[in-house]
Amino acid sequence: MLQEATRTCRRKRSGLRGLLVGIAALTTFLGMRTYVPTPSAQIAAAPALAPTPVRAPRPDVPLPIDETRYGEKVRWLADRQLSRPPEWRVLLLDKTFRNVSNTTAKVAACLVSVLGLAGYVAKIKAEHAKDHFFSVVAVEQDYRDAVRKAQALQGRGLAVRVVPGTSRSTLQPQPRKEAQPSMASQR
């Protein structure tokens, strides 16, 4: 039996583990009961980190945008206690030019016919919208008038939006105030 324990120890030849197995076999042969902790028992008792979630090897295709929630509709969260905005602005969007039939000249012609802008001003506004995402094409104090103009432009294939203005713009001619007499002239 002793020879068998030595053979087991030689066969294992795995360092400390083999030695411990050999000692356990020897003590069993001699009839002694001993507990020799093995390295596997020590490893099992060691603290371990929690397993991490398994990641997909490559990300999936993102879900499409929910058109019912993120469509072209815009909701304004306005406080009822605030006063109405002083003006409403009609914006010409750069999306207008995604349609290949909408050229700068055609869009400028639509602005001239619907809004009554001068030709060169309409062309500048159309180019500005194409290059800078949007352009303010009309300013109205009444919301209904702004919506009417926007719907007329939409009827001609333009992408427009009506937004509240935060202050009076310089697009509309403002009435001039009479000059205040200076202190020097009162002397």
| Low-confidence winner among 44-58, 138-152, 163-177 (lowest mean pLDDT) | 163-177
Q: Domain spans of the chain? A: 2-39, 83-165
More confident residue, 182 or 141: 141
Structure-block tokens of residue 54: 């398994």
SS3 string of the chain?
CHHHHHHHHHHHCCCHHHHHHHHHHHHHHCCCCCCCCCHHHHHHHCCCCCCCCCCCCCCCCCCCCCHHHHCCCCCCCCCCCCCCCCEEEEEEEHHHHHCCCCCHHHHHHHHHHHHCCCHHHHHHHHHHHHHHCEEEEEEECCHHHHHHHHHHHHHCCCCEEEEEECCCCCCCCCCCCCCCCCHHHHC
pLDDT in tens, 65-117: 667 666 666 666 666 666 778 899 999 999 999 999 999 999 999 999 999 99
Fold designation for 83-165: Ribosomal Protein L30; Chain: A, (3.30.1390)
To 10 degrees, the CA torsion angle through 116, 122, 128, 129? 50
| CA 138 from centroid of its chain's CA atoms | 30
